[in-house]
Structure 1
Amino acid sequence: MSQLSKRSENYSKWYNEIVVKSGLAEFSGVRGFMIIKPYGYSLWDRMKTILDKMLQLTGHQNVYFPLLIPKSAFSKEKEHTEIFSEGCAVVTHSRLKKNQDKEELIVDPESKLQEELVIRPTSESIIWKTYKRWIQSYRDLPILFNQWGNALRWEMRTRLFLRTSEFLWQEGHTAHSTEKEAIEEAIKILNIYTDFSEKFLAIPVLKGIKPYMDKFYGSEKTYCIEALMQDGKALQIGTSHFLGQNFSKAFDVKFTNSNGKKEYVWGTSWGVSTRLIGGLVMSHSDDRGLVLPPKIAPIQIVIIPIYYKENNTIINKISEKILNIIKKEKIRVKYDNRITLTPGWKFHEYEIKGVPIRISIGKNEIQNEKVEIFRRDTYEKTYIPWKNLKDSILKLLDEIQKNIYKKAFHRTQKLIIKSDHYNDFKNKINHSGGFIFAHWDGTKNTGKKIQEETEATIRCIPMYNEKEKGKCIFSGKPSMQRVVFSKSY
């Protein structure tokens, strides 16, 4: 296997090489669309399993709504339509036919649809159209739905996992009888996303509220979690939107309250996508490949036999015995006994795939009744007696998970910086990057000018941020609190 580019020399190239060479995904040949390979999909499947359980434990139910949305329904909520229409794919005809003059297929003009269909960029419109039939009384509320599926939004600049036209995701849609309940739901989901990111992906995040000009179109307020990647740029990990009554009014979704009066329903929507895989790669990986936290890794341990002709049988026997010990602990373990590849080749393969622990068993290990343990996060090698293996492995997996998070946390903390002067701000953004806490006058125009000059955007207004009087770093106008600026993906 060839070596990877260095992060310090070409971060973008390094990222793309890791994604492809580790077997996560590859380009499909259609701009903006990728092939998620088995190893990449197993990583996404692991994320789905964990997050789905977290959502179901809080009362959410899984559903599935159609991929195609009637254009009339999609057009109902005007603010929502205005932004998403720019990236929509639209189905206008129902079939193809053979061209009589050439050996090719063409659109059959006679199959033009009576109403054009939008390929789902997000599902609020089709879901609220359905809620109108399902909701009549306060007894029908709340509705707590979650959907696993895909979406399509045309993208000009694409990058595997981080920004693709088609992506896999989870999107939640809830309906409530009160404003308070809907806001509590949106914040609850943000906290679930935070726990998932920090406890399982080992990615520390900053919770905040998007400035008014960057909120989800069709919402009253957008809550978000932002994470810093190793190059000092921010990545939006997930969002949770308080929709207010915007969609219920657009689709005329009312309910009769306990006093017999008609009210519009309150709503939320929220989601994370396969962008999480991109964030995982950029948060922890190094110049030798992926570094995966054990809780999310598809393979937590790989066992590699070091064969010698006269010892193959005994090595296999001991390896399989150790394999069974590990399996009993419900650890995701693989025994790679392929004889067509050298141990060195396998070592490199599983390093680039980010497998947290590698166990090697050869002649020396059998003689000493020990196994060689290699930690992917620190490159440390130790020897553990067979009899102590179970307890040692469980403890080590926990240590690796904590160490990966600790490393990312300390890196993030070093890049949380305050700035009170525009020249200092520009210097920090262009050299160290990071989350720059600075005053902003609250106007869209100032945010736009700062972005044009520095490429930095307001990532969020930190939740529970203390009020602090100051002056906008750009305009010098009064400001009541700091916001978070960063360059981003």
Structure 2
Amino acid sequence: MVTRQEDFSKWYIQTIQQADLMDYSPVRGCMIFKPNSFEIWEKIQEEFNRRFKEEGIRNAYFPMLIPENFFTKEKDHIEGFAPELPWVTEAAGEKLEERLALRPTSETVIGSAFSEWIQSYRDLPMEINQWANVFRWEKKTLPFLRTSEFLWQEGHTAHASAEEALARTMKMLKVYQEVVEDLLAVPVHAGEKTPSERFAGAENTFSIEAMMQDGKAVQAGTSHYMGTKFAQAFDIRFLNTENEHVHAFTTSWGVSTRLIGAMIMTHGDDKGLVLPPKVAAQQVVFVPVGPWQKNPEIMDKIHELDQALKAQGIRTIIDDSDNSPGYKFNEWELRGVPLRIEVGPRDLKNEQAMMKARDAEDKVALAFPDFVAGVQAELNTMQTRLLEKARQMNQANYYTNINTLDELVAHIESKRAAGQVPGWVLAGWDGTEESEAKIKELTGFTTRNIPFAGQVEEKATCIVTGKPAKHTVWLARAY
């Protein structure tokens, strides 16, 4: 198996295939989510659903097919998605009178529904979420991170005022950051996207950005403030308290299955996956060792310990296959199960089990009376340890002392020559698209986001022009 240092992209593909997470679809750019990955997605769904419901946001579902005329109502939106749209033009052997798009996102169809459902200020705020598949016909794909069909959640809300809508936009960005960091142990940077990176049709787009082990960035979630653009396009109006018909202010926000890819690229090692305990489908695997087939007391004890963990809500699996212990160890390490528990004749005699954390080198002994508490403690410790390790990796790959484009080019070249990652660069930007485009043209780096005030040291001059900086931005190559 290739190592991360040798070829990170190839390591990633080998890892997700050997861990039995996915398979390729017969349709170009699409993939099959196998149970090992879909169960991770279910854990992500569960946590987000819990947080959404705490916010009073309810789930709904809208059709996949969207009439072409819906896209023509918001000019920026159709221009932003036109190159990626797959169209249905024929059904039941007959040409359709109007083309139907496979949804790239649902602002249009939900906006149309909102225009019917919202009549009065009493109907506001209207806040819904849907879990769905979407289609964007990607030319270059990478499983989980960028595919032509992917799974996501998309929240859509309408409000009586700009202040309420912007507050919802920012609150959902905060929810995204908290869940991604707490559940997946992936540290992220929150900030505002530059105008060229905004969602098509939005007034403002905010994002959380994550650094992978190869130094590239993954946009892990976005939250959009739409103002009244979509409300005007789809006539979402309401009678306010002054008895006036006015347009609502809308938002949309989403995360997708690319979170799975980001988690793998953040924590994986040369042995395979490393799954954070909170999101792992199986948190503990039991492996009998020694001549256990001839000693039924070993399996009796394993079943007893297994039931004790299950009673505490810990997700477990017992590997009683006839494969060798070494094979089993390698297989479960490849699949990233957080804890491995070994029980053999010597362990029975010593009234203990041996515990090995996926991200640790050594085994530790757990006395049977302390077994459940010890496992619970290690799962919690490992979750925290993975987040802290990722933060340390990020910190080692931040560069804040690069102030000119020549310095940036030299930095990238020197890091690559040394077999190191160029990481992320904090830079000043004069706010022009010309400077942003120049950075991308010469380095392949793009603006990831503009950090919120107080998060980073502000840069005084633009990295391209040397003129006073209007914003401080994170620059990086991105997936």
TM-score bracket, shorter-length normalisation = over 0.9
1:252 corresponds to: 235
In the other structure, the counterpart of 1:75 is 72
Cα distance in 1 for partners of 2:196, 2:237 equals: 28
Which residue of structure 1 aligns with residue 461 of structure 2? 471
Q: Distance in 1 between matches of 2:411 and 2:478?
A: 14
Quick one: structure 1 residues 310 and 221, their matched pair in 2 at CA, closer, same or farther if it must change by over 3 Å?
Answer: closer
Q: Which residue of 2 aligns with 1:203?
A: 186
AA paired with 1:317?
D
> Kindly tell me: are residues 425 and 345 of structure 1, through their superposed partners in 2, closer, same or farther at Cα, counting changes over 3 Å?
same
After TM superposition, give the deviation of residue 467 of structure 1 in Å. 8.4
The residue that corresponds to 2:451 in the other structure is 462
The question of whether the paired residues in 2 share the 8 Å contact of 1:301 and 1:332 is answered with yes
1:373/1:383 contact within 8 Å kept? yes
How far residue 209 of structure 1 moved from its aligned partner, in angstroms, is 0.2
Paired residues for 1:401-420 under 5 Å:
401-418=383-400, 419-420=402-403
Structure 1 counterpart of 2:44: 47
Task: Note the C-alpha offset of 1:94.
Answer: 0.6
Output the CA distance in 2 between the equivalents of 1:391 and 1:147: 38
State the distance in 1 between where 2:157 and 2:392 align.
36
- Structure 2: runs of 5 or more not aligned: 416-420
2:128 aligned with 1:145: yes
For structure 1, which segment, 36-45 or 417-426, has the greater mean C-alpha deviation from structure 2 after superposition? 417-426
The count of aligned residue pairs is 471
2:135, 2:150 within 8 Å by CA — same for their partners in 1? Answer: yes
Q: 1:18 to 1:373 in 2, by over 3 A?
A: same
Q: Partner of 2:430 in structure 1?
A: 441
**1:112 is matched with which residue?**
95
CA contact (8 A) 2:430 2:471 kept: no
Alignment equivalent of 1:365, drawn from 342, 347, 356: 347
Aligned equivalents of 1:477, 1:189: Cα separation in 2: 35
Give the drift of 1:480.
3.5
| Counterpart in the other structure of 1:175 | 158
1:278 to 239, 258, 261: 261
Once residues 284 and 310 of structure 2 are traced to their aligned partners in structure 1, the CA distance between those partners, rounded to angstroms, is: 10
Give RMSD over aligned pairs: 1.3
Match of 2:168 among 170, 177, 185: 185
Preserved CA contact (<8 Å) 2:339 2:356: yes
Counterpart check, 1:451 vs 2:451: no
Match of 1:103 in 2: none
Q: Percent identity, please.
A: 41
Which residue matches 2:56? 59
Assess if the C-alpha contact under 8 Å between 2:80 and 2:200 holds in 1.
yes
Distance in 1 separating the partners of 2:203 and 2:331: 48
2:464 aligned partner, one-letter code: F
Give the Cα–Cα distance (whole angstroms) in 1 for the partners of residues 98 and 463 of structure 2.
50
What is the CA distance between 1:369 and its match in structure 2?
1.0
Provide, for residues 346-376 of structure 1, a one-character-per-residue CA deviation record: whole Å limited to 9, x for no partner.
Answer: 1111101100100011111111111111110
Deviation of 1:472 (Å): 1.3
1:480 to 458, 464, 470: 470
**Paired AA for residue 95 in structure 2:** K
Distance 2:471 2:256 in 1: 31
Aligned to 1:19: 16
The aligned amino acid for 2:333 is: E
316, 324, 346: which one aligns with 2:307: 324
User: Quick check: 308-317 or 412-421, which moved more?
Assistant: 308-317
Evaluate the alpha carbon distance shift between residue 272 and residue 469 of structure 1 in structure 2; reply closer, same or farther with a 3 A threshold: closer
1:233 maps to amino acid: K
**Which residue number corresponds to residue 233 of structure 1?**
216
- Offset of residue 307 of structure 1: 5.0
Distance 1:467 1:248 in 2: 38
- How far off its partner does 1:309 sit? 6.0
Matches within 5 A, 1:123-138: 123-138=106-121
In the alignment, the residues of structure 2 paired with residue 426 and residue 202 of structure 1 have an alpha-carbon distance, to the nearest angstrom, of 32
- For the Cα contact (< 8 Å) 2:292–2:298, is it kept in 1? no
- Partners of 2:290 and 2:135 lie apart in 1 by 49
**8 Å contact from structure 1 (residues 468, 480) kept in 2:** no
Conserved? CA contact 1:205–1:226, under 8 Å: yes
- The 1:436–1:138 alpha-carbon spacing in structure 2 relative to 1, beyond 3 Å, is same
**1:351 maps to amino acid:** E
Q: Distance in 2 between matches of 1:196 and 1:343?
A: 36
Give, as a single letter, the amino acid of the residue that structure 2 aligns with 1:343.
P
Give yes or no for the alignment of 1:33 onto 2:23. no
Q: Deviations over 1:200-227 (max 9, x none)?
A: 1101110010001110011000000001
Tell me if the contact between 1:467 and 1:481 (Cα under 8 Å) persists in the aligned partners. Answer: no
The answer to whether the Cα contact below 8 Å between 2:115 and 2:237 also exists between their aligned partners in 1 is: yes
Amino acid at match of 1:272: V
For residues 134-169 of structure 1, the C-alpha deviation after alignment (integer angstroms, 9 at most, x for no partner) is 011000000110000100000000111111000000
Indicate conservation of the 8 Å contact 1:89/1:119, yes or no.
yes
SS across alignment from 2:348? helix
Q: C-alpha distance in 1, partners of 2:116/2:406?
A: 57
Contact 1:152 1:166 in 2 (8 A): yes
> 1:422/1:351 Cα in 2 relative to 1: closer, same or farther (>3 Å)?
same
Quote the residue 1:212 is aligned against: 195
State the Cα distance separating 1:57 from its structure 2 match: 0.8
1:447-479 deviations in whole A, cap 9, x for unaligned? Answer: 111101100001111112478462211112221
39-48 vs 299-308, which deviates more?
299-308
| Matches of 2:162 and 2:172, distance apart in 1 | 16
1:86 and 2:87 are equivalent in the alignment: no
TM-aligned CA deviation for residue 302 of structure 1: 0.5
Q: Deviation digits for residues 198-255 of structure 1, max 9, x if unmatched?
A: 1111011100100011100110000000011001111100000001100000011110
Which secondary structure state, in structure 2, belongs to the residue aligned with residue 292 of structure 1?
A: coil
Q: 2:139 aligns with which of 156, 161, 166?
A: 156
Q: Is the 8 A contact 1:74 1:126 kept in 2?
A: no
> What's the TM-score once normalised by structure 1's chain length?
0.94
